[in-house]
Structure 1
Amino acid sequence: MTTAKDLFVITLDHPGPEHAVGQGDLSLALAGAELIDLIGAGAVTMDGDRVVPDGAPALDDRLLGEAAARLTRQPPYETVEDWLWRRGRDLSAAYQSALEEDGELTRKRSGRLSFGSDAVEPVDTPGRRGAAARWEEKEPVLTALASAVGIGGGRSEDQPGLGDEAVTTVVAAVHDAVMELEAVRQRRTIENSAFANLWRG
């Protein structure tokens, strides 16, 4: 499976210590995972923090192909941050649907991670075992992306062994975007509390 699909499965098998992974956090990380796979496939290169399309290699994954098709192909191109927010919109739901269609996920009434009214869990497939193997081996990219959403040691971008400047740029952008999303959530909570207090007062 792709890095994004592996990451989705890992979030189900290894939920965060305090709470389930949020759809927004996961969507941002999935968009980053797609970009890293596109870099690995030679579909894009990085010019600083800008995503530059580079050829059109054959991609055997539908969602990864969709990601490649949505790349901005005109200069000055798109920053990684802009890509994460644009591509990441509702991306976790798209991956859930795709993994269910592929027979990698099944629904149940109660479970570890709930999206909407249904909970989903991985099926014991070669894909799930492959994701588990990458996780057990502490594969640097998967570990770094998982940490961005609070799995396996919290949100620290100081992950050793990424070994590629482009990949490091993407991982750092994912961490920043997730932190920005959390800041927005906290601000809304404070604003809502203040509004409620105003009405009660």
Structure 2
Amino acid sequence: MTTARDLLIVSMDVTTADQSVGQGELSLALAGAELLDLAEAAALTLDGDRIVPGPAPFDLADRQLTEAAAALSLQEPYESVEDWLWRRGRGLYAAHLAALEADGGVTRKHRHWLPLRAERDAVADSPDRRAAVERWTSGEPVLAALALAARLRDEPVEDLAGRTGDTVVTVVTAVDDAVTELVAVRQRRTIEKAAFDNIWRGQ
């Protein structure tokens, strides 16, 4: 199990409808989770906000994590955490969801009146799901902090720096900043679209 998969499962299975967020926010948070998983695996370190890759090859059991490691920039002055989130995060929710489904981690809920249609809306009962739920309910600080940055929860994580360290704080802060920017851009586009529509209505 990885932090990224735990976060994906939590977003699908543990949170309520009121806590649901967009795929963009989750993609940014998943990119941050990958960074923290790679740091935990000694595949990278942070020099300030710069991602310094470790020695290759990386012996990583998870496919998505292996892909993330291969995507690290090897050119100095190296990529910033913020740039990684936006580059790696593009479409990342869909990629992780497809991987979870390929591993049998997603069940389809069929509509009785439309038997040929199905929705990917439930996480299959599995050891991975139970581990993610346990990590979530225990308030494990890394998962909780990423969920907070992704707007999946409201409760702040007490003493995050003391409980996790500078790397986690740097990545989580960058995720929070990126999500804030994404939400602001989305709101601005909504306002601009509404204003444009009003012009055409003659208002």
How far apart are 1:175 and its partner, in Å? 0.5
Quote the residue 1:114 is aligned against.
none
**Is the 2:150–2:175 contact (alpha carbons within 8 Å) kept by the matching residues of 1?**
no
- Spell out, residue by residue over 1:1-49, the C-alpha distance to the aligned partner (whole angstroms, 9 max, x if none): 1100000000112335635221100000000000000000000000100
Residue segments in structure 2 that go unaligned for 5+ positions in a row? 112-117
The alignment of Structure 1 onto Structure 2 pairs a total of residues equal to 194
C-alpha distance in 1 between matches for 2:120 and 2:108: 6
Return the TM-score normalized by structure 1.
Answer: 0.90
Quote the residue 1:178 is aligned against.
179
47-56 vs 157-166, which deviates more?
Answer: 157-166
Q: What is the one-letter code of the residue matched to 1:129?
A: R
Quote the residue 1:40 is aligned against.
40
Q: What is the one-letter code of the residue matched to 1:35?
A: L
SS at match of 1:78: coil
2-11 vs 117-126, which deviates more?
Answer: 117-126
**Is the 1:15–1:21 contact (alpha carbons within 8 Å) kept by the matching residues of 2?**
no
Q: CA RMSD in A?
A: 1.8
**Is the 2:136–2:144 contact (alpha carbons within 8 Å) kept by the matching residues of 1?**
yes
How far apart are 1:96 and its partner, in Å? 0.7
How has the CA–CA distance of structure 1 residues 108 and 144 changed in structure 2, closer, same or farther, with 3 Å as cutoff? same
C-alpha distance in 2 between matches for 1:181 and 1:75: 27
Quote the residue 2:188 is aligned against.
187
**Between Structure 1 and Structure 2, whose CA radius of gyration is higher?**
2
C-alpha distance in 2 between matches for 1:108 and 1:20: 19
Quote the residue 1:144 is aligned against.
145
SS at match of 2:153: coil
Greater fraction helix: 2
Quote the residue 1:83 is aligned against.
84
Superposition pairs for residues 66-145 of structure 1, below 5 Å? 66-109=67-110, 118-145=119-146
**Is the 1:140–1:159 contact (alpha carbons within 8 Å) kept by the matching residues of 2?**
no
C-alpha distance in 1 between matches for 2:197 and 2:62: 47
SS at match of 2:51: strand
**Is the 2:43–2:55 contact (alpha carbons within 8 Å) kept by the matching residues of 1?**
yes
**Is the 1:109–1:119 contact (alpha carbons within 8 Å) kept by the matching residues of 2?**
no
**Is the 1:108–1:120 contact (alpha carbons within 8 Å) kept by the matching residues of 2?**
yes
How far apart are 1:177 and its partner, in Å? 0.5
SS at match of 1:75: coil
How far apart are 1:189 and its partner, in Å? 0.5
Return the TM-score normalized by structure 2.
Answer: 0.89
